[in-house]
Amino acid sequence: MQEQIPPLSVSIQSSYSLEEVCDLLQLRPYMVRFWESEFLIDSIANSSGQKCFPHSSLMMFHALSHLLFTRKLSLEKVKSLMKDLDLTASLLIPQQEEFQIQQEQEQKQEPPPLPVDFILKQIQGHLEEGLEMISLLKNRYNWPVREYSNFRNDN
């Protein structure tokens, strides 16, 4: 019979810092580090060099926490369970599929289009700034006077 691990309700991220894992699962950092080495749990380094854990590793820590603290199994028993039942795959595949679906949905979402009036006002502002710059240059270098009022909408 396969061990049923209760679901963990967290917002799915691509990676979690050591502090986030500890806060979410109410674990001590030394426990997470020990389990990482003992159970060969994946970790990655972020751009600043800090150790982070992918979502699959978070789910693995959650499963270990449940088996060791709730079910009160020994480390040896948990290791043998993982080998015998391939617990890692059965625990993580549903969550990974859910994570991939959520990521795909986030990528498909496009930002709402800007209103046309807003875009036109921005363009008008840039054109007016250009006309003011031309006027300043004209005065500075004594360019011949031309009328640009045809282009302005003086409201």
pLDDT (tens digit per residue) in 83-103: 765 555 445 445 555 555 666
118 or 94, higher pLDDT: 118
Q: Is 21 helix (H, G, I), strand (E, B) or coil?
A: helix
| Interval 62-72: pLDDT, tens | 888 888 888 88
Q: How far does Cα 46 stand from its chain's mean position?
A: 12
**Domain 15-108, CATH 1.10.10.10 — does that match?**
no
Query: Could you state, in order of their start, the residue ranges of all structural domains in the chain?
Result: 15-108, 113-155
Q: What pLDDT score does 90 carry?
A: 47
Which of 67, 39, 70, 73 shows the shortest CA–CA distance to 53?
39
Region class of 26: left (phi > 0), else alpha (psi between -120 and 50), else beta? left
Share of the chain above pLDDT 70, in %: 67
| pLDDT above 50 (res 131) | yes
| pLDDT above 80 (res 31) | yes
Share of the chain above pLDDT 90, in %: 3
